[in-house]
Structure 1
């Protein structure tokens, strides 16, 4: 049996926090190592406890989700973070992604959807669904200075776009390699090329930049038809 994925749950609503913890306890794949009500408590626990995936609420007192992500980056805490949101504020979600979150889920997800998201992040993937993220980008009223320039100086190849589409769907490099019948090293090289061409620091921002420039919006899934 493989080692369970160690998860930390951070949400200021007690019933939500305990509910998520109870749901995850139904799976042998996950071990919840703790839960916190605010970002300060989360930062303390992250410094003391090994965590594979952080489930993070955004709107919290004391230190909110975005401030927590920024503090993690400043302190060199590289724990894959999955934002839990109700989409009350689209711009806040986008800010969280820019601050380093690797994906997002609605709080009313099923157990399998939650587990799928945890697995994706634990194996190096992201959880950015193009249709949902496109809606966020379209509804965002403020300038996106952190993602400029949106257009790559060198066009992405079709294979690079295939890799980026699957990364946007939350696939890890290993899953992309299997899906496209490529060596994992080839996928890593293509993803590195995508990041370079888009001027993105990581996969999440690469997907956001590609969506802003229309590279992924309305495009077919690379494994369809």
Structure 2
């Protein structure tokens, strides 16, 4: 008996506060045999909740949305772990969004004027582990690197983090437990807990996950 070797379709979630955009993208992508739309959402907070519930492979995410914007949602989705990729889609060709998306860990950044076929191709690329940028943003990123300017990935300005706290933050972003951080830094686990508590207080976070999300958004601890 022959076995079906056809790969599973790429499970995609579309997140946009504009119903017309959601419906249009869903209709366009539904014609792609290797892509399946498994969920839609109207804001970043909904996206964070549904990604793991629906086993989403790629999130096609608007940048500017109410409740939680696309960049912050990207940080939280990726901080939670898993293999989900995020492809940011926006009408604004603005480096603020571009650099914020890169800092948050997005795998791609496309303008909404991107042709449908290229959006589908971008989904396949990021699902395979690649990176995608629209031509305009790509040229500016490359130009900045040629000039020696790194993307504006944020800073720890105003947080007053110590060298030890920055080291703990770096390891938290790698997904290390307190015990593993203690071994890595050759300190007591209680010391690590103290640093984590301090990070939560300084960053206004209610959990380790929120610390990592905030650090990803600011581009610190890398």
Other structure's SS at 1:62 match: coil
Which of 29, 33, 47 is the equivalent residue of 1:28? 33
RMSD, matched Cα: 2.6
Change (3 A) 1:8 1:135: same
Match in the other structure for 1:13 = 18
Question: Does residue 51 of structure 1 match 2:56?
Answer: yes
Per-residue Cα deviation, 1:140-191 (whole angstroms, up to 9, x for no partner):
xx9856499xxxxxxxxxxxxxxxxxxxxxxxxxxxxxxxxxxxxxxxxxxx
Instruction: Measure the CA separation in 2 of the matches of 1:32 and 1:48.
Output: 14
Change (3 A) 1:107 1:48: same
Structure 1 gaps, min length 5: 149-225
Match in the other structure for 1:93 = 98
Question: Does residue 117 of structure 1 match 2:122?
Answer: yes
Instruction: Measure the CA separation in 1 of the matches of 2:152 and 2:25.
Output: 35
Match in the other structure for 1:38 = 43
Instruction: Measure the CA separation in 2 of the matches of 1:46 and 1:19.
Output: 21
Aligned length: 146
70-79 or 99-108, larger mean C-alpha shift: 70-79
Query: Offset at 1:23?
Result: 0.4
Query: Offset at 1:29?
Result: 1.3
Between structure 1 and structure 2, the one with the greater Rg is 2
Query: Offset at 1:99?
Result: 0.7
Match in the other structure for 1:68 = 73
User: Are the aligned partners of 2:141 and 2:151 in contact in 1 as well (CA < 8 Å)?
Assistant: no
66-75 or 27-36, larger mean C-alpha shift: 66-75
User: Are the aligned partners of 1:87 and 1:93 in contact in 2 as well (CA < 8 Å)?
Assistant: no
TM-score using structure 1 length: 0.58
Instruction: Measure the CA separation in 1 of the matches of 2:63 and 2:142.
Output: 18
